[in-house]
Amino acid sequence: MSTMNLTVHVWRQKDARSPGKMVPYKVSGVSEHASFLEMLDVLNEQLIDKGEEPIAFDHDCREGICGMCSLMIDGRPHGGQAGTTTCQLHMRKFKNGDEIYVEPWRAAAFPVLRDLCVDRTAFEKVQQAGGFVTANVGSAPDANSVPIAKEAADRAFEAAACIGCGACVAACPNGSAMLYVAAKLTHLHMLPQGQPERLHRAQAMVNAMDAAGFGNCSNHYECEAACPKDISRDTIALMNRDFTKGTFAHRPRDTKGDGAG
Amino acid sequence: MNLDARIPAGPIAEKWSRSKFEMKLVNPANKRKHTVIVVGSGLAGGAAAATLAELGYNVACFCFQDSPRRAHSIAAQGGINAAKNYQNDGDSIHRLFYDTVKGGDFRAREANVHRLAEVSVDIIDQCTAMGVPFAREYGGTLANRSFGGAQVSRTFYARGQTGQQLLLGVYAGLSRQIAAGKVKMFNRTEMLDLVVEDGRAVGIVVRDLVTGKIESHSAHAVVMATGGYGNVFYLSTNAKGCNVTSTYRAYKRGAGFGNPCFTQIHPTCIPVSGDYQSKLTLMSESLRNDGRVWVPKNKADIGKRPDQIPDEDRDYYLERKYPSFGNLSPRDIASRAAKEQCDDGRGVGPGGRGVYLDFRDAIKRDTEDKVREKYGNLFDMYERITGENPYKVPMRIYPAVHYTMGGLWVDYNLQSTIPGLFVLGEANFSDHGANRLGASALMQGLADGYFIIPYTLGNYLAGVNAAQLADPKGAAFKDAETDVKGQIDKLLAIKGKRSVDSFHRELGTLMWEYCGMARNKEGLTAALSKIPELREKFWKDLTVLGGAETLNQSLEKAGRVADFLEFAELMCRDALVREESCGGHYRTEHQVEGEAKRDDDNFCHAAVWEYKGAGNEPARHIEPLSFENVKLATRSYK
């Protein structure tokens, strides 16, 4: 098994208020079979041995599904291997002697908390604005009572595969969250269950996206290239259509209530 | 310790409906006067938080990740069981109940399992209504696949990402309640202690993982859905953050811990590749629908390329040993069989710790495209991790720690031995006995969260005076906060030489060796003397850099490993006393021709451990199990 020695330049920042800087570290004896995060583990162990504080980075499942890990590696979200999260990127993609640059997501809506960890609360706000079907537990009909064409279910699934990591935002020169929002809208709008609230949902989520500080789309499609789940930019077209339709057709929800006493 | 399971009277199929009618209700106007804490935001916790909020309760929900959508339920791959019988292949609620009791090797409570099977059908309806994109047939109806331990197709799925899709459904419902102001969500917040006042659970102490601030929260009831403790082995299929801290702290506050030695080893994981390894990745059990498991018949063939070994020189050992279930034998049995082949010197890959999972025949039969459609994402994941293409070369797999059947003891209403503390999902001990069947964890999490706790918690809250909410500045809270801060200060003050991970790895190696796939008296006794030694070293030689009042991941890990170092001892103790083999608990002294030998005369019970203070041996209590509907029998998958 071959091992490599690398120079890793890492963004170090004490907290949200402090300034940060890139710091170079030598890391030795990295196995080609290690994942990128395991390489950082090895580096952190070497730092602790020297009495230096380890690098903070977000991660959890380490199998590409939780969406917690979030690194700009050599300027590309998740390192640029197609359809791959940072935790699934393996060191066999690098070579001995490489210099690697590691930064946190860079986006106005995702402030840095410490080192490589960012605050993605803005995504939560967008989701809460409308990323759901209003269906209380207990109210559901039999699951086979509404047939759904396989193609529609497949398209819904492909959009729903979004892991909410934020790579699309980090990749976008405008810091736009359109692919993230469009993925959620497409997931629900491909299904019959998503239809009743469709236009309201598109309006609410897009407005929340703007309010959360994300930029707009100017058709670079960097988001699609960076997405570890290969979500298609076609979803954005669907979102735009629903948003526009909603602008004309949508009435704000009547909350006055005409209760019958 | 009161271990009254409060199982309702009556025939098994009527217990739950009868119990739902007999349970007290809280009227809508009073529901909004009650506050409930939910710890954990996975399938069980997230579903509970959202559903309780829909009913009108005020909910505070906590998770240590930066979003509730990242709870480890997200990583479940294969599917979720339900007794829908959409395939017309002979399934029924009773059959799912029977399979689960048998699969659990007769160490689960019948009444709970039957209820689980009953509500399984509602889960699929609810998830579909929330927009979960389950796999469909061309006609638009739901598709099913088969899983281990069953001879019917009752598993619903969304490619290899079923857990993700179900959790996103739960997360959507939870988000709706957060927006409505009914759930207050605390992300990046870790529960570090349970607060008990006058014998009731009244709140929790938490640490804000960004600011390091210690805070108390009070409520009329506490619901914990904090997952399992597989990471006591360091290497497991669990996410890195999964830990035992919340359940272990609750145990130290008086909650009984049920069957801690019942851990599940999953047969199909990617083998360990080196000592930097940080976790093990599961390859879904659903792959065994089409993949065939084998090792070379002759040791001489070990180094050969698999395609150079002809069929007659391959040992498809699961098909040979268990002809009726074959590659779909339950997890405990398939895992032990793999270990047996490797112990026999016929394992493949580095260190001889692997067996082949081969899709050659499925690809020949169904085409590569068809196989890709079913398992594409799993094949891709395998290739990214190993650098090998599983369409061309068989996968190499080996068993790894995956799930823990043990957990906090709960009665039929999911209440622990501490009144007011309810425990859901993997965190409790209730439904899977000594072995969980595939696709049953998602079922249990959602059953507990969507359909059971809304009733049973109401029954408890109906007897609680809403006007009396514990004071988070009161003595019980202050004491717990002092304990929590004391431990943090102590960890930071050691200033030794070794990192947290180095201790965690050492503990993991020790547990895998002595309390892993095969256990015996000698090994467990050795572990019981080695664990305290390691713990002592930990408290002398640990180094945690950085401070308490900041984002400090080493400090988070140190607290969790400190608890694992105590909990590991409890596991070994439980494994040592249980002088039988059942499900995932395999004592080498108790076997007949390599198969587990249960001892129903002496161990047909759940073991429940009671904390007796630092330095004292915990007390072992039992809840006897009676089987009135499924006949106690030796499990056979032959």
* Tens-place pLDDT, residues B47-76: 999 999 999 999 999 999 999 999 999 999
Q: Is A74 a domain residue?
A: yes
Q: Which residue in B41, B43, B65, B74 has the most chain A C-beta atoms within 10 A of its own C-beta, making it the best mutation to test that interface? A: B74
Among the partner residues A45, A137, A146, nearest to B126 by beta-carbon distance:
A137
Q: Which chain A residue has its CA at the smallest distance from B243's CA?
A: A60
Looking at the structure, do residues A243 and A128 belong to the same domain, yes or no? yes
Is B136 close to A153, i.e. CB distance below 8 A?
yes
Residue B198, Cβ density class (10 Å: 0-12 exposed, 13-18 middle, ≥19 buried): exposed
Give the pLDDT mean for A98-113.
97
Beta carbons of B126 and A121 less than 8 Å apart: no
Task: Tally C-beta pairs within 8 A across A and B.
Answer: 220
Integer Cα distance of B291 and B391 in angstroms = 11
Nearest CB partner across the interface for A120, out of B66, B386, B450: B66
Mean pLDDT of B287-311: 94
A141–B240 C-beta distance less than 8 A: no
Side chain identity, residue B267: P
Q: Could B279 and A53 be called an inter-chain contact, meaning their C-beta atoms sit closer than 8 Å?
A: no
Least-confidence region, from B145-154, B295-304, B337-346: B145-154
Instruction: Let me know whether A86 and A180 are in one domain.
Output: no
In tens, the pLDDT along A238-259 reads: 999 999 999 987 666 655 555 5
Same-domain check for residues A76 and A135: no
Does position B573 have pLDDT exceeding 60, yes or no? yes
**B373 confidence band (pLDDT: 50, 70, 90):** confident
Residues A11 and A61 in one domain: yes
Min Cα distance B172 → chain A (Å) is 5
Do A68 and A159 lie in one domain? The reply is: no
C-alpha distances in Å from residue B473, one per residue of A148, B203, B216, B478, B483: 54, 11, 8, 6, 15
Q: A181 is written with which tokens?
A: 């929002």
Q: What is the CATH number of the domain that holds A42?
A: 3.10.20.30
Helix (H) / strand (E) element for B408: namely: strand B407-408
CA angle B61, B470, B608 (to 5 degrees): 70
Residue B47 CA neighbour count, 13 Å, CB half: 29
pLDDT band at B289; cut points 50, 70, 90: confident
Residue whose C-alpha is closest to residue B256's, from B599, B561, B574: B574
The tens digit of pLDDT for each residue in A166-197 reads 999 999 999 999 999 999 999 999 999 999 99
Q: Distance (Å) from the C-alpha of residue A188 to the closest C-alpha of chain B?
A: 6
Best of A66, A118, A133, A146 to disrupt the B interface by mutation (most B CBs within 10 Å)? A66
Contact A157 B158 (CB under 8 A): yes
To test the contact with chain B by mutation, choose from A61, A85, A93, A200 the residue with the greatest count of B C-beta atoms within 10 A, namely: A61
Asked if B240 contacts B279 with a C-beta cutoff of 8 angstroms, the reply is: yes
Using alpha carbons only, give the angle B283, B285, B291 rounded to the nearest 5 degrees: 85
Distance from the B322 Cα atom to the nearest Cα atom in chain A, whole angstroms:
32
CATH classification (class only), B266-398: alpha beta
Longest alpha-carbon distance in chain A: 77
CA dist B320 and B301 (Å) reads: 19
Just list the catalytic residues of B.
Answer: 331
Position A225 in a domain: yes
d(CA A163, CA B474): 41
B398-419 exposure pattern, b = at least 16 Cβ within 10 A, e = fewer:
bbbbbbbbbbbbbbbbbbbbbb
CB distance B550–A114 less than 8 Å?
Answer: yes
**pLDDT(B197) > 80:** yes
Chain A residues within an 8 Å CB radius of B273: 31, 33
How close A59 comes to chain B (CA, Å)?
8
Q: Indicate yes or no: pTM above 0.90.
A: yes
Q: Are residues A89 and A136 in the same domain?
A: no
> pLDDT tens digits for B201-224?
999 999 999 999 999 999 999 999
| CA atoms of A236 and A232, how far apart (whole Å) | 8
For every residue of B460-480, DSSP letters joined together read HHTTS-TT----TTSHHHHHH
CA distance B35 to chain A (A): 20
For strands A112-114 and B58-62, give the pairing.
Answer: unpaired
Contacts of A44 in chain B (CB under 8 A): 499
Compare CB distances from A90 to B84, B210, B385 and report the shortest one's residue. Answer: B385
3-state secondary structure of B264: strand
Of B175, B239, B387, the CB nearest to A66: B239
Residues contacting residue B303 through CB under 8 Å, at least 6 positions apart: none
Question: Distance, in angstroms, between B416 CA and closest chain A CA?
Answer: 25
The beta-strand segments (E) located in chain A are 3-13, 20-31, 72-73, 76-77, 99-103, 112-114, 117-118
> Domain extents for chain B?
266-398, 480-613
Examine the domain organization and report whether A62 and A136 are in the same domain.
no
**Is residue A64 within 8 angstroms of chain B, CB to CB?**
yes
Tokens matching residue B83: 């007794």
Q: Is A193 in the same domain as A216?
A: yes
Yes or no: say if A165 and A85 are a contact pair by the CB < 8 Å rule.
Answer: yes
- A147 and A243 share a domain? yes
Number of folded domains that form chain A: 2
Residue bearing the bigger pLDDT, B233 or B594: B233
Phi, psi of A181 (to 5 degrees): -70, -45
Q: Is A69 helix (H, G, I), strand (E, B) or coil?
A: coil
For the segment B419-446, what is each residue's pLDDT rounded down to a tens digit? 999 999 999 999 999 999 999 999 999 9
Contact list in B for residue A136 (CB cut-off 8 A) is 54
Q: Which residues of chain A are within 8 Å of residue B166 when distances are taken between CB atoms? A: none
Q: Which CATH architecture has domain B480-613?
A: Up-down Bundle (1.20)
Which residues does chain B have within 8 Å of residue A67's beta carbon, measured at their own beta carbons?
A: 67, 69-70, 74
Residues B553-580, mean pLDDT to the nearest whole number: 98
Domain end, chosen from A90, A114, A138, is at A114
Residues of A in contact with B135 (CB under 8 A): 153, 157
Percent of chain B with pLDDT over 70: 100
Q: Looking at the structure, do residues A127 and A237 belong to the same domain, yes or no?
A: yes
Taking only residues 36 to 55 of chain A, the set having a beta carbon closer than 8 angstroms to any beta carbon of chain B reads 37-38, 41-42, 44-45, 48-49, 51-54
Q: Are residues A150 and A243 in the same domain?
A: yes
Rounded to the nearest angstrom, the minimum Cα separation between B52 and chain A is: 10
- Asked if A3 is an interface residue toward chain B (Cβ–Cβ < 8 A), one would say no
pLDDT number for residue A252: 66
Distances (CA, A) of B141 to A146, A195, B104, B129, B137: 8, 19, 31, 14, 5
Taking only residues 156 to 195 of chain A, the set having a beta carbon closer than 8 angstroms to any beta carbon of chain B reads 156-157, 160-161, 163-164, 187-188, 190-191, 193-194
> What tokens were used for A82?
């197609």
What distance in Å separates the CA atoms of residue A88 and residue A237, rounded to the nearest whole number? 30
The verdict on residue A259 lying in a domain is: no
**What mean pLDDT is predicted for residues B181-188?**
98
A135-139, B316-320, B522-526, B592-596: which range is least confident on average? B592-596
Give the pLDDT of residue A26: 97
In this predicted structure, the answer to whether residue B114 has a pLDDT above a threshold of 90 is yes
Q: B38 pairs with which residues across the strands?
A: B61, B223
What's the CA gap between A86 and B355, in Å, rounded? 28
Whether A257 is in a domain gets the answer no
A128·B176 Cβ contact <8 A? yes
Residues of chain B contacting A2 with CB distance shorter than 8 Å = none
CB-CB neighbors (< 8 A) of A140 in chain B: 122, 125-126, 128-129
A70 domain-assigned: yes
DSSP string across B601-635: HHH-EEEEEE---TTSPPEEEEEE---SSS-----
Residue written as token pair 């006055």 = A256
* Average pLDDT score, chain A: 95
Q: Which of B52, B65, B67 to mutate to test the interface with A (most CBs of A within 10 A)?
A: B67
Q: pLDDT tens for residues B582-616? A: 999 999 999 998 788 999 999 999 999 999 999 99
The pLDDT of residue A260 is 54
Decide if B240 and A62 are in contact by the 8 Å CB cutoff. Answer: yes
Specify the CATH number for the domain of residue A138. Answer: 1.10.1060.10
Domain limit, last residue, from A59, A86, A114: A114
CA distance B143 to B140: 9
Is position A130 within any domain? yes
Q: Are residues A132 and A245 located together in one domain of the fold? A: yes
Residue A258 lies in a domain: no
Across the interface, do A150 and B138 touch by the CB < 8 Å criterion? Answer: yes
Q: What is the ipTM of this complex?
A: 0.96
Q: B15-25: b or e for each residue (b if 16 or more CB lie within 10 Å)?
A: bbeebeeebee
How far CA B245 is from CA of A125, B225, B251, in Å, comes to: 30, 12, 10
Q: Percent of chain A scored above 90 by pLDDT?
A: 93
Maximal CA-CA distance, chain B: 76
Q: Which amino acid is at B111?
A: A
pLDDT, tens only, A53-70: 999 999 999 999 999 999
Domain boundary among A92, A114, A136: A114
Q: Which domain holds residue A8?
A: 3-114
A135 touches B: beta carbon within 8 Å = yes
